[in-house]
Amino acid sequence: MKNLRKHISKRLVVLLAVLMIMSSLAACSKSASKAPALSYNMASNKIADTGDVALNGDWGVKSLSGDDYDSYETNAATADYEPAEARDAGTDVNSDSGAVAGADTLTERKLIRTCTITAQTEKFDEVIANFKAKVNELGGYFENSNVNGTGKNNQFRTGTYVVRVPQDKLDALIESVNGAVTVTSTSENSVDRTLQYVDMESKVKSLKVEQQTLMDLLAKADSLDSIIVLQNRLSEIRYQIESYETQLKTIDNQVTYATLNLTIREVIEEEDQPEIKKRTFLDDIKDAFSEMLENVVEFGEGAVILFIMLLPLTVVLIIAGIIVLICIKRGRKKRAAKRAAAAAASAQAETPEVKEEASKENAETKEE
């Protein structure tokens, strides 16, 4: 009995898988037969809908027979969605069918504009106030702003701003900035996200078709295994759809609002860009002479500074030297006086009177 139930359950699962794949292929084939081909109209910077190119209807999901149900989950989860530009690569838009000539629908290109300006001004506060007012007037907003410096004691300020404005108002904002400050550098670039955008839109449409098919099958499913498989795949599809839609919204925002990166430096006097002149031999001589004078002045300044630094030590050394000299002179005088006294005593001992007195003293000593 258990084996019979298991056999019936397997057959039911296989039958549901076959019905699901057939429904999905039918829906995708119908959508593919009506899917328009996209080609560029370079003259108008837009994408033309030719309406003559059939897209690949299976979107990477393989056909399944009754015995291949187990491979459905893997194929569906790893379905390879062919990019729009790859699908269109095999279409000859210059063929005799005249697909491009029959275009009746145009899609604007998704261009992301970014401009970077570096400038300087004497009136920092006034310029920034007018700049903020202009951004609000044009319907933009500040994504980031930063100011360094105090504006006092030669601490000049530098302001860095990241501004988002509607793309059609960017030129007006740039013109306003150029008229208020001295621009030192500017750059602008545009990034075309059209193919990426169209490709993600196609993927979202395909995923929604598959999602609807699976939801219809889920409503009819009466097997727990089938319900689990269908719900798992629906969760994956919902995640992919949300991811693509988030990317599409991000591109839409970047296209709708252009970006201006502005850096303004505060200066005492606005500097005009100097003209570049060719140097001459006389200029080299002047520069060499000026450099020599600067070196002489620097040497003199260094010598004076060194003398001032060593002056206290020099005074101490001079005083110590004077004291040493005085001590040496006094010592010499004392030694000279001692030598003179010794010489006088020696001379006095050699006179006759001294010798006679000495002999008398010796005789008296012997008698006693």
Q: Between 276 and 318, where is the model more confident?
A: 318
pLDDT at residue 31 is higher than 80: no
- Mean pLDDT over 222-226 rounds to 87
Q: What percent of the chain has pLDDT over 70?
A: 63
Per DSSP, the three-state class of 214 is helix
pLDDT at residue 36 is higher than 60: no
Predicted confidence at residue 262, as pLDDT, reads 94
Predicted confidence at residue 270, as pLDDT, reads 52
H-type alpha helices, 52-189 = 72-77, 84-89, 124-137, 170-180
Instruction: Say if residues 230 and 37 touch (Cβ distance below 8 Å).
Output: no
Q: Which residues pair with 262 in a beta bridge?
A: 117, 161
> Whole-angstrom Cα distance, residue 284 to residue 290?
10
Q: Between 367 and 249, where is the model more confident?
A: 249
For residue 271, the surrounding DSSP H or E stretch is none
Least confident of 4-8, 197-201, 228-232: 4-8
Task: Tell me the DSSP string of 65-90.
Answer: -TT-GGGHHHHHHT-----HHHHHHT
Q: Between 90 and 146, where is the model more confident?
A: 146
Q: Between 317 and 24, where is the model more confident?
A: 317
Per-residue pLDDT band at 140 (split at 50, 70, 90): very high
Residue type, 224: L
Q: Between 268 and 244, where is the model more confident?
A: 244
Predicted confidence at residue 367, as pLDDT, reads 63
pLDDT at residue 242 is higher than 90: yes
Mean pLDDT across the chain, nearest whole number?
74
> Whole-angstrom Cα distance, residue 337 to residue 354?
24
CB atoms within 10 A of CB 143: 13
Predicted confidence at residue 240, as pLDDT, reads 94
Q: What percent of the chain has pLDDT over 90?
A: 32
- Mean pLDDT over 95-106 rounds to 36
Predicted confidence at residue 7, as pLDDT, reads 53
Predicted confidence at residue 354, as pLDDT, reads 56
Q: Between 257 and 354, where is the model more confident?
A: 257
- Mean pLDDT over 145-149 rounds to 89
Across the beta sheet with 105-108, the strand order is 38-41, 46-49, 105-108
Residues counted in the chain: 368
Per-residue pLDDT band at 361 (split at 50, 70, 90): low
pLDDT at residue 214 is higher than 80: yes
Q: Between 259 and 150, where is the model more confident?
A: 259
- Angle formed by the axes of helices 124-137 and 170-180, to 10°? 160
Q: What is the number of alpha carbons within 13 Å of residue 293 lying toward its C-beta?
A: 6
Predicted confidence at residue 23, as pLDDT, reads 61
Q: What is this structure's pTM?
A: 0.44
Which range, 61-65, 82-86, 195-199, 360-364, has the best average confidence (pLDDT)? 195-199
Q: Tell me, what DSSP letter sits at residue 190?
A: E
Which range, 21-30, 174-183, 351-360, has the best average confidence (pLDDT)? 174-183
pLDDT at residue 11 is higher than 80: no
Residue type, 195: L
Predicted confidence at residue 55, as pLDDT, reads 33
